[in-house]
Amino acid sequence: MTIKIGISACLTGQQVRFDSGHKRSDFCMNELAKHVEYVPFCPEVAVGLPIPRPTIRQVRIGDVIKVCRPDGSNDVADDLYKFGQSVASNHLSKFSGFIFCAKSPSCGMERVKVYNETATWTTHDGVGVFAKAIMDADPLLPCEENGRLNDPHLRENFVMRIYVYSKWKELVSTGVSLHKMTTFHAQHKYLLMSHKYQAYKALGRMLGESHERDVDQVARDYIIGLMTAISKPASRKAQTNTLMHLQGYFKKHLSKIEKQELSEAIEEYRIGNVPLYVPLTLLSHHTKVHDVAYLKEQVYFAPYPNELKLRFGI
């Protein structure tokens, strides 16, 4: 299934910015683009602003946010929000993520500059109006900004979430059932464990106790719990704990030297000397060699294409 992602058009290299420029993202266009299909949007152009155009900014007047020129004219906040709502209703069911351009009064996901009415002070607590409409429409949709994607932990977490969400949408598109959800949950055991062990247990319990419940409601509760649990990068401590759990599968399979090699790789990762892919490569190798069927199904070993090298930096 093709993974579709919404993206701020300027990040793809389209020259749609106020100064006729762009903000092409190397990671998005040179690496991730090989694995996903982007659907670009420039909300400011979509609501009728020209290229080039005078700059616009967010201005707070009481509880209301305007998105207007520095002299207060040409407020397009409502138009931007409505455009976001129309993108949401026409596209979000097919999207597994969205990448926004940081700091923009329209597209910024967080910490957007907001002026007071007299422009005598600013805060950095705004959300781009278009981005807000998208995030309001689907609070579970994995969203990230171009700048934050330079952080290897945030990048890995974002890409992992879009793959999980896409897999979930694929499951839902063929009709949910308790059996399918239980299988999905089992396949995501170690991925979930590497983020929140308690969430893995709680969601498993919830599925086990849901035979009398409406299956669509169970599915909603499940995906809320899952996406919330993986919404932040996994800590080194939780990853180490997960690796040690996986190590337990090989007690009877490995020689003394192999066990020692694996323990050392996990310890080296724990203390920050090697990245996650080092112990994981070993575990993955042993899983294949010893044909451990349950582990071969685990999404944790390959949540996204290895070619993205996302575990080299964490």
Residues within the interface to ligand SF4 (CB under 6 A): 8-10, 16-17, 42-44, 101, 104, 106-107
Beta-carbon count within 10 A of 26 CB? 10
- If the CB atoms of residues 135 and 207 are measured against ligand SF4, the closer one turns out to be 135
Q: From the CB of 135, what's the least distance to ligand SF4, in Å?
A: 14
CB of 8 to ligand SF4, least distance (A): 4
Distance, in Å, from the CA atom of 68 to the CA atom of 275, rounded to the nearest integer, reads: 46
When the beta carbons of 132 and 195 are compared against ligand SF4, the nearer one is 132
Query: Shortest gap between Cβ of 104 and ligand SF4 (angstroms)?
Result: 4
> Cβ distance 142 to 95 under 8 Å?
no
Cα dist from 227 to 75, 86, 136, 142, 308, whole Å: 35, 24, 15, 8, 22
Chain centroid, CA 77 distance in Å: 26
Cis bond upstream, residue 52 (ω within 30): yes
Tokens of 215: 């299956």
Of the pair 79, 156, the CB lying nearest ligand SF4 is at: 79
Report yes or no: 159 and 304 within 8 Å, Cβ to Cβ. yes
Identity of the residue, 47 or 181, whose beta carbon is nearer to ligand SF4 in the bound complex: 47
Contact (Cβ atoms closer than 8 angstroms) between residue 133 and residue 84: yes
Give the nearest distance from C-beta 63 to ligand SF4 in angstroms. Answer: 24
With respect to ligand SF4, which residue has the nearer C-beta, 106 or 166?
A: 106
Nearer to ligand SF4, 88 or 226 (CB): 88
Q: Which helix (H) or strand (E) holds 283?
A: helix 277-289
- Do 5 and 33 meet the contact criterion of CB atoms below 8 Å apart? no
Q: Least distance from C-beta 65 to ligand SF4, angstroms?
A: 15
For ligand SF4, give the closer residue by CB, 76 or 299.
76
Query: Judging by beta carbons within 10 Å of its beta carbon (0-12, 13-18, 19+), is residue 24 exposed, middle or buried?
Result: middle
CB of 3 to ligand SF4, least distance (A): 20
Residue 280 corresponds to which tokens in the numbers above? Answer: 């994981």
Contact call for residues 77 and 129 (beta carbons, < 8 A): yes
CA distance 69 to 80: 14
Torsion of CA 215, 193, 99, 43, to 10 degrees: 40
Cβ distance to ligand SF4 smaller for residue 87 or 223: 87
At closest approach, how far in Å is the CB of 244 from ligand SF4?
44
Write down the least CB distance from residue 93 to ligand SF4, Å: 22
